[in-house]
Chain A
Amino acid sequence: MKNASLIFKKEIKEILKNRSIWLPILAVSIIFSVIFPAALTLGLEGIIKDPDAANFINKVFQGTDNLQLAMLQFMIKQFMIFLLLIPAMLPSLIAPASIVLEKESNTLEPLIATPIKTGELLLGKTLTSLIPSFSITFIDFVLITIIIDSIAYTRFKLLPLPTWDWAVVTFVLSPVISFIITMICLIVSSRTADIRSAQGIGAVIIFPIYAVVGLQIAGLFLLNIKYLFVVCAVLIAVCPIVLKLAIKIFDRENILTKWKMK
């Protein structure tokens, strides 16, 4: 564990020095967790005044007597699905960088020649991607809660957040998505030698999340607690499979003989 934490600390230091990694993370976080929620909550009254929007909400939340709360709940469901992009996007930026930077500087061989265990190396790399992803996602969720609740309370005396599905997304689904994407990115990065192609592949990996976002926006389904439990169960079942694959790839011999190097 000590060795994994050494890797984690060094990697975080390097990531902080690499603006091309943390700048997109910061931008996406600000857009999704501050600007969008604030703008939409502030503009809620205007949206409700639109008869089409009111009709739509009445259909979705049949028999609602509080249109404002129903609209807020609908918006929260949209944010929630948008926010799934963050735990997916962050590992796709960090994990490939963490591997490819090692390749670019030819540091993998001297690193694995130390007494470090390959499991510790994998754990260190995973934490480098997972901890910032989970922390930033959590901060974003907290920010959204504060922003939506404070605006909704001052204007409509409502506190729409947190909800149960919100908690499931924050504490279960997001970390699981982060973990799976991290593992897939680590596996894929072993086959690429430059950061652009690694992150390009990372962007493709998160495509299913975009698809889910698109489907909900298109009105084909609305994420609810039942769906969330099913999705979480499926994804949790996938975790050991990707972990097993990553462990296989993070074998010393594989690193030296099968990984694509610069």
Chain B
Amino acid sequence: MIYVENLTKKFGAITAVDNISFEIQKGQIFGFLGPNGAGKTTTIRMLSTLIAPTEGKISIDDRNPDKDSGYIRSIIGILTETPGMYEKISAYENLNYFSSFYSIEEKSRKESIEKFLRMFELWERRLDPVSTYSKGMKQKLALARALIHKPKILFLDEPTAALDPESAFMVRSYIEKLKEEDITIFLCTHNLEEASNLSDVVCIIKSKIIKIATLDELQKNRKGKKIEIILKGSSSKYLNLIKQFNEITYIKTDKNSINLSLENPEKTNPILIKKLVEAGAEILYFNELKASLEEIYLELIRG
């Protein structure tokens, strides 16, 4: 659905996006993560034909943005960083105005407006000026605007940033539902838990792509594994024994638990367990701890 090859965007001497390549399949949720200024918004703008790349190739739904920018904009929906609504007119008028630029029959457009206003619990306030809305209500309205023309591709820049937990949950559930409808979603977020729960593929960017993989692959290919050992009795007396293992890169003991990171666990774990048992430790649990996306992200970003 989205194909990007060697994409670069320069603003004068500054390279905002540096030679990135990726492919997103139809119906996939593509988590696009990176620190502020990493080039996320610039990438979205290039993919949505708002700005032209300095170099590289983009294909959206097998179309070239240089030639078919109008078509591409008609099949995408964008939730920008700020909701961007006309404050003096009502929510209904805002949706009616933005949706009227798409080739949709008036009847189905109006049905769609009602559907999304009801879904996001804004129907009762539809005639109020947007200036009277809370930040979260504006965000929901902006999301409704991105969806109203039934886009094939959805670019979401921080979709739950301004929402209360209940609304954020509702939006996440809706994003999952959109996936079932085969809508391709490009999700930019700083909420790593959200990215981890929703994304099929995660791309970590800092001008260049640092890593692109599924969450499973990221966890599997991570340098070192985390282990948690729960003992019967205090764990601190085994600290010196554990420190003898060169493969162990991180140790933390707390009451009856030991948390450690180690290289090559398949080789080290049996020896470690044997040594602990020989030293009198009674092992209650021995678990591999899967790294969270946050840990992986921070490791990758910090290099």
Contact = CB atoms under 8 A, between A and B. Distances in A.
Interface of A: 3, 6, 10, 13-14, 17-18, 101, 105-117, 252-253, 256-257
A117 B45 CA distance: 16
Interface residues of B, number: 31
Q: Chain A: interface secondary structure? A: helix
B74 A115 contact: yes
Interface of B: 11, 45, 48-52, 70-71, 73-74, 76, 78, 80, 82-89, 93, 97-98, 100-103, 142, 145
Given A115-B70, A252-B51, A18 B88 contact: yes
Contacts of B103: 115
A6 B101 contact: yes
Given A107-B86, A252-B50, A113 B70 contact: no
Contacts of B89: 10, 13-14, 17
B70 A253 contact: no
A3 B85 CA distance: 18
A256 B49 CA distance: 12
Contacts of B142: 110
Contact of B83 (A10, A14, A106): A106
Nearest to B50: A252
B100 A6 contact: yes
Contacts of A116: 101
A256 B45 contact: yes
Contact of B85 (A14, A105, A257): A105
B6 to A, nearest CB: 20
Given A6-B97, A113-B78, A115-B70, A105 B50 contact: no
B70 A105 contact: no
B50 A115 contact: no
A13 B90 CA distance: 12
Lowest 9 A-B CB distances belong to which pairs? A114-B101, A106-B84, A106-B82, A115-B74, A253-B51, A113-B78, A107-B84, A115-B73, A110-B84
